[in-house]
Amino acid sequence: MRITSIIRVFAASALLSTLPTTMGCTKFETSEVRTPFGQPKTRLVRDKSVESSVGGTLRVSATSVLGQIRWKPACRLVTEQPVTTEHIETVKSDINWNVGWVLLGVAGLAGSAYAFDKSKTASDVEECRTTKDSEGKEQTYCTSDKRDLQTGGVLLLLGGGAFLGTGVVGLAKPTKESRFPIRKDIEIKQTGGLVPCGDQEDLEGLEFVLRIEGFAERRAVADAKGNIRFDLPEEGELDPGATGELYIGDVPEPLREHVAPDSHTVTLALKAYAASLAEKQAARDSAARAARIAADNHTFTGTIRGDLVARDHFTLDCEPTGPDVCFDAIDNDCDGLYDIGCGYRSGALQWTLAWTTGDDLDLHVIGPDGAHI
């Protein structure tokens, strides 16, 4: 193929390719942006990973539990900033493509100048060529080098100019931005580590519940300094290894954001209190035993009735013979009680009838008031 045909084909292709791009190349971008508005607010937010926001130190005595409640580091300081979220559509020049169009346009114009220059010295002798179409008819085409160069120069001039114009227009296009508000929300930023959830005086009015297994619940309300007091029962049985569990009770409205009702706060060791209960019970038992022994030493002023054999064997003296023996109706250890641990109750007054024969005996007791037992 001659060079003039190559120029002609290139020029025609260049001209056609510029038709859809005569307004320059642009690119379309979308994004979202969050724009703050209004004043930010700073507040404390409870960290849910911490079991309780309230703790304290407590001291257990023989009669009460005294303590001071305080805030634990269980909150974080956060800033809440109102923001508007906008959808942004941007149309702007595509630099890479438009520079490419300019370079192609310059190349096309340079090629046009070259083709016109060559056409000045090219031969204008026509050459004809005969071909057959699809129907078998012969067609003759005649052209010359001068004509081909001039035609290619015109096409290159038009194509190069279109390329150049497209690139220049595209580069000159201003960026166009359109914004569409989508929503308004709150942007939360967390700062620093864990801090107490309030001031000490904020705990005033907060209720606490002390739970000890086997005892009724005890309730106390904190004062302005966080002090609480629980009065403990003076009677009862408690295992030395027992513990008391302190829980949050009723929570005033201002504290409910940071304090969860019925949340566990402190575990108390009650060994000293259990020992105190045991000592008090032992003292009461000892006093009761002493009273019974003293009662046994009172002078008998009643009348002994029965047959002569029974009266001859009746005595108020007691000589210890060992631990109590069940169902013999004898105070074997002379402690004022008998048949202890034998399965029936004993009290301040006790009558027991024991016999070693096969007879069926009944014991009747008639009190001073005439009551018949």
pLDDT of residue 172: 84
CB of 27 within 8 A of CB of 169? Answer: no
What's the CA gap between 170 and 104, in Å, rounded? 14
Cβ atoms < 10 Å from Cβ of 179: 13
Is the pLDDT assigned to residue 265 strictly greater than 60?
Answer: yes
Residue 338 to residues 13, 290, 319: CA-CA distances in angstroms?
A: 129, 15, 13
Least confident of 137-141, 258-262, 264-268: 137-141
What's the CA gap between 151 and 159, in Å, rounded? 12
Query: What single letter denotes the amino acid at residue 166?
Result: T
Average pLDDT, the chain: 82
pLDDT digits (tens, 9 = 90+) for 273-323: 999 999 998 998 888 878 777 766 666 677 777 677 766 777 767 788 888
Q: How far apart are the first and last CA of the chain?
A: 144
- 299 Cβ neighbours under 8 A, 6+ residues apart: none
Query: Residue 49, Cα to own-chain centre: how many angstroms?
Result: 5
pLDDT of residue 367: 78
Is the pLDDT assigned to residue 207 strictly greater than 60?
Answer: yes
Least confident of 22-26, 250-254, 299-303: 22-26
pLDDT of residue 298: 66
Is the pLDDT assigned to residue 5 strictly greater than 60?
Answer: no
Of all residues in the chain, the percent with pLDDT exceeding 70 is 87
Is the pLDDT assigned to residue 151 strictly greater than 60?
Answer: yes
Per mean pLDDT, which of 19-28, 64-73, 157-166 is the most reliable? 64-73
Per mean pLDDT, which of 62-71, 144-153, 314-323 is the most reliable? 62-71
Least confident of 23-32, 79-88, 266-275: 23-32
pLDDT of residue 66: 92
- The mean pLDDT value for 132-142 works out to 78
pLDDT of residue 186: 82
Structural element, H or E, at residue 142 = strand 138-143
pLDDT digits (tens, 9 = 90+) for 316-345: 677 888 888 887 777 888 877 777 777 776
What's the CA gap between 44 and 72, in Å, rounded? 13
pLDDT of residue 22: 46
Question: Looking at residue 215, what DSSP letter applies?
Answer: S
- Higher-confidence residue of 345 and 357: namely 357
pLDDT of residue 14: 52
- Higher-confidence residue of 297 and 364: namely 364
pLDDT of residue 19: 47
Adjacent-strand bridge partners of 195 = 75
Adjacent-strand bridge partners of 247 = 209, 264
What's the CA gap between 346 and 338, in Å, rounded? 8
Closest of 242, 271, 255 to residue 69, by C-alpha: 255
- Higher-confidence residue of 250 and 188: namely 250
| Domain segments of the chain as ranges | 3-34+86-130+137-179, 41-84+190-276, 307-373
Adjacent-strand bridge partners of 366 = 372
pLDDT digits (tens, 9 = 90+) for 35-58: 888 888 888 888 888 878 888 888
CB of 143 within 8 A of CB of 119? Answer: no
CATH for 41-84+190-276, options being 1.10.1060, 3.40.1350, 2.60.40, 3.40.50: 2.60.40
1: pLDDT confidence band, cut at 50, 70 and 90?
very low
Cβ atoms < 10 Å from Cβ of 266: 19
Of all residues in the chain, the percent with pLDDT exceeding 90 is 10
pLDDT of residue 12: 55
